[in-house]
């Protein structure tokens, strides 16, 4: 990075680029207004009361944050009163040890503002007003117009502030940069940008409306980049500077004292993947984006590389090589072929729309300009607990595994029904809030005259994440193998063992732990059970939609919070050898040495889980590898081949950590000495010593391959 970016980077990592909020003195007579009119009036006043961050090295400015005094962005939920009620009562608070409310990510759609500018968006709203005549619809749309005009005025204010600041700068280069910024702020985002600099500045300002994922960055910006290069008005180095300052803004949006400052789940974007015409979208500008990010010693944003079957091997090698050299572990990988097939075949989304997905937060999929349609974590192991501890009389005399599984499946479906019902209820409360600023940059909200919080977006998916999937599969394997196939024990013996928390049945538990081919070993038994179980999920979920009409899919990641621990604490002993109170598993993977047949076998097992596509929601596959596999170029080349084959055969996702179990144990025991170690967790990365103990334990238990 050059000197200018280096100075901005130092300011960012020291917390000095963080945008503080300014609270206006609202007029008390506002309370005489109808609620939504007051909310819009105060939102506009709030925006215009803020102050931009400007330094002598700035080429960009214009972001602002919300403090909760007005109805702000849909991601942070600032000022959303009904959402606050839902969070107070249900966020991270278990219902029946079966469901908890979680956070909900969203992503803006920058394509419209980059194509039309704010003025063009206002014209679209005017057109929608001609169609929507209901009072609540016209009120919503007129509110959007007021907010759009406030953003234009905000850019004008920033221009004045920058120009005023530039007068105090003596260095001619810095002064010229600031004058350039001041002049450009008078053009964008009011008008559509005409070059890369204006396009990034437009996104820079509009990010404030939905400060989460920035979507498919190479698609938004490639046309501007290539046009500027063609016209000889931009150099590659200048483009890199613009991108790097943009990335620093994303990092600085999180306060330095926040535990999220060193995590990447606060902002996420994608590169590569299929374009609308079916070609692979990875290009020269995509390379520049990756190189620009990798030069920065920051944690946010993180990116997901969208692989396609048309991706050349040297491109995958390039991205994986960047990943292995990145000390801050900012790259994850996903398979477009599987995801697009899911979104078209199961969700019924046209291909041209399906290719517009991105990843948000901790790897949740979302479509540009929409929200991730779910906001809950479910306990899937609850169904096994119910069967063996409350309904055991139904299975004690089962004559076959098929008979047993039919009984289990009915309990599983009952639990799924409740999990999805609670997810709907959380959304019902949130839908009472009308959002304006995020809706302005959301797909379809203008055309539908409906808030993003109320299902205003046409294209979205709902993917509640389910804890304990692997525990369930492993438990079913034990039942089939030892009760019905090998007849090592009777059903009564297993029930008694679980009711006594395995006390007095240690011999059976030892045999189970040491001789079972659990999930991850790519054998006929575990693959059969995995396929059987996911087929059940498919039969239950396929065709079911949430209250906004978004298709349900299966998710399995954990995010920042310890749901797998909290659920496990109140879950009795299960057939997989798990004691009462032990935490359960998240993600589609394996740990504790249960995957005994190596990396390829584990990856093949994951492929089985994804064959019917229903699990292409918020899914994560964490892989821990020996450092030697990445430090040696020959071995690394073989590793690239392995993961390319994994994707070609149907794997959906992977993210990598290269560190030994011994180092992690040492880091847990002596954190001061190992502050530098970073690991991939559940769609994000962080310093190992900063993680909760249960997350640390899970990472330690992942088997080195």
pLDDT in tens, 209-219: 999 999 999 99
Contact in structure between 215 and 107 (CB atoms under 8 Å): yes
> Which band of pLDDT confidence, cut at 50, 70 and 90, is reported for residue 475?
very high
Contact between residue 378 and residue 412 where contact means Cβ atoms under 8 Å apart: no
Mean local confidence (pLDDT), 226-252: 98
Phi, psi torsion values for 98, nearest 5 degrees = -125, -30
The confidence score (pLDDT) of residue 704 equals: 52
pLDDT band, very low/low/confident/very high, at 705 (cuts 50, 70, 90):
very low
Contact 109/215 with Cβ under 8 angstroms? yes
CA distance 702 to 705: 9
Kindly tell me if the per-residue pLDDT of 300 is higher than 70: yes
Three-state DSSP at 591 gives strand
- Of the two residues 350 and 685, the one the predictor is more confident about is 350
Q: Which pLDDT belongs to residue 702? A: 63
Q: Give the 3-state secondary structure of residue 493.
A: helix
Structure tokens, 420: 């999805």
Query: In the chain, what are the helix, strand and coil shares in percent, each to the nearest 5?
Result: 50, 10, 40
Residue 673 has pLDDT above 50, yes or no: yes
Is there a contact between 246 and 192 (Cβ–Cβ < 8 Å)?
Answer: no
Rounded Cα gap, residues 407 and 543, in angstroms = 23
686 neighbors 263 (Cβ within 8 angstroms): yes
Cβ count near 623 (within 10 Å)? 21
Q: What tokens were used for 211?
A: 């400060």
Label residue 425 by pLDDT band (50, 70, 90).
very high
Q: Under 8 Å CB-to-CB from 109, ≥6 apart: which residues?
A: 215, 368, 369, 370, 441, 442, 443
Quote the pLDDT of residue 587. 85
The mean per-residue pLDDT over the stretch 8-30 comes to 97
Say yes or no to pLDDT of 682 above 80: no
Q: pLDDT over 70 for what percent of the chain?
A: 99
For the chain, give the mean pLDDT: 94
- Exposure string (b/e) for 636-663, b if CB count within 10 Å is 16 or more? beebbeebbebbeebbbbbbbbbbebee
Q: Three-state SS across 165-202?
A: HHCCCCCHHHHHHHHHHHHHHCCCCCCCCCCHHHHHHH
Count the alpha carbons within 13 Å of 428 in the hemisphere toward its beta carbon. Answer: 8
Between these two residues, 233 and 598, which has the higher pLDDT value? 233
The dihedral through the CA atoms of 509, 514, 515, 517 has a sign that is: positive
Q: What is the pTM of this model?
A: 0.94
Q: Is the pLDDT of residue 501 over 90?
A: yes
Residue 703 pLDDT more than 60? no
């Amino acid at each position: 990075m050059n000197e200018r970016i280096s100075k901005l980077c130092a300011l960012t990592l020291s917390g000095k680029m963080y945008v503080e909020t300014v609270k206006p003195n609202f007029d008390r007579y506002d309370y005489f207004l109808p609620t939504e009119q007051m909310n819009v009036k105060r939102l506009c006043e709030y925006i215009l009361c803020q102050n931009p961050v400007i330094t002598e090295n700035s080429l960009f400015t214009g972001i602002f944050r919300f403090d909760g005094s007005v109805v702000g962005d849909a991601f942070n939920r600032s000022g959303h009163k009904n959402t606050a009620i839902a969070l107070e009562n249900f966020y991270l608070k278990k219902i029946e040890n079966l469901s908890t409310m979680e956070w909900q990510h969203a992503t803006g759609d920058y394509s419209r503002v980059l194509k039309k500018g704010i003025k063009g968006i206002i014209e679209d709203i005017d057109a929608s007003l001609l169609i929507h005549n209901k009072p609540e619809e016209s009120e919503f749309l007129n509110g959007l117009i007021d907010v759009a005009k406030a953003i234009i005025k905000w850019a004008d204010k920033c221009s004045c502030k920058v120009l005023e600041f530039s007068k105090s700068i003596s260095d001619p280069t810095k002064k010229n940069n600031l004058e350039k910024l001041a002049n450009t702020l008078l053009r964008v985002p009011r008008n559509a940008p005409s070059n890369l600099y204006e396009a990034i500045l437009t996104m820079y300002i509009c990010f404030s409306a939905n400060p989460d994922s920035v979507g498919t960055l190479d698609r938004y910006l490639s046309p501007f980049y290539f046009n500027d290069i063609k016209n000889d008005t931009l150099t590659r180095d200048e483009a890199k500077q613009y991108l790097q300052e943009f990335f620093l803004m994303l990092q600085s949006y999180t306060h330095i004292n926040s535990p999220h400052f060193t995590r990447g789940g606060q902002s996420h974007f994608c590169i590569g993947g299929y374009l609308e015409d079916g070609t692979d979208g990875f290009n020269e500008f995509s390379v520049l984006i990756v190189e620009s990010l990798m030069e920065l010693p920051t944690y946010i944003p993180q990116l997901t590389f969208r692989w396609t079957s048309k991706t050349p091997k040297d491109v995958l090698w390039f991205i994986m090589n960047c990943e292995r050299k990145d000390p801050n572990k900012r790259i994850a990988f996903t398979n477009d072929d599987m995801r697009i097939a899911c979104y078209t075949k199961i969700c019924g989304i046209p291909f041209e729309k399906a290719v517009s997905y991105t990843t948000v937060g901790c790897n949740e999929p979302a479509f540009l300009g929409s929200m991730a349609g779910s906001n809950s974590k479910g306990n899937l192991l609850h169904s096994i607990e119910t069967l063996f501890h409350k309904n055991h009389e139904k299975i004690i005399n089962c004559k076959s595994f098929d008979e047993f599984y039919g009984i289990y499946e009915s309990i599983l479906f009952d639990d799924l029904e409740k999990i999805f019902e609670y997810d709907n209820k959380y959304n019902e409360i949130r839908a009472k809030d009308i959002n304006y600023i995020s809706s302005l940059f959301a797909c379809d909200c203008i055309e539908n005259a409906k808030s993003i919080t109320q299902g205003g977006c046409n294209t979205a998916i709902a993917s509640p994440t389910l804890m304990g999937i692997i525990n369930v599969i492993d438990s079913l394997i034990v039942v089939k193998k030892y009760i019905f196939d090998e007849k090592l024990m009777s059903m009564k013996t297993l029930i008694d063992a679980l009711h006594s928390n395995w006390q007095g049945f240690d011999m059976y538990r030892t045999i189970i732990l040491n001789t079972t081919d659990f999930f991850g070993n790519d054998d006929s038994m575990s693959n059969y059970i995995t396929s059987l179980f996911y087929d059940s999920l498919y039969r239950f979920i396929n065709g079911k939609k949430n209250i906004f009409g978004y298709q349900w899919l299966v998710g399995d990641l954990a995010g920042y919070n310890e749901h797998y621990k909290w659920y496990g604490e109140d879950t009795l002993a299960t057939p997989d050898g798990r004691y009462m109170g032990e935490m359960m598993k998240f993600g589609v993977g394996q740990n504790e040495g249960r995957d005994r047949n190596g990396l390829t076998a584990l990856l093949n097992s994951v492929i089985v889980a994804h064959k019917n596509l229903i699990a292409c929601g918020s899914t994560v596959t964490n892989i821990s590898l020996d450092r030697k596999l990445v430090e040696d170029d020959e071995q690394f080349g073989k590793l690239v081949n392995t993961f390319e084959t994994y994707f070609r055969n149907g794997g959906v996702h992977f993210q990598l950590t290269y560190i030994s179990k011994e180092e992690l144990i040492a880091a847990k025991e002596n954190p001061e000495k190992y502050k530098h170690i970073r690991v991939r967790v559940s769609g994000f990365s962080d310093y190992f010593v900063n993680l909760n103990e249960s997350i640390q334990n899970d990472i330690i238990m992942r088997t080195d391959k």
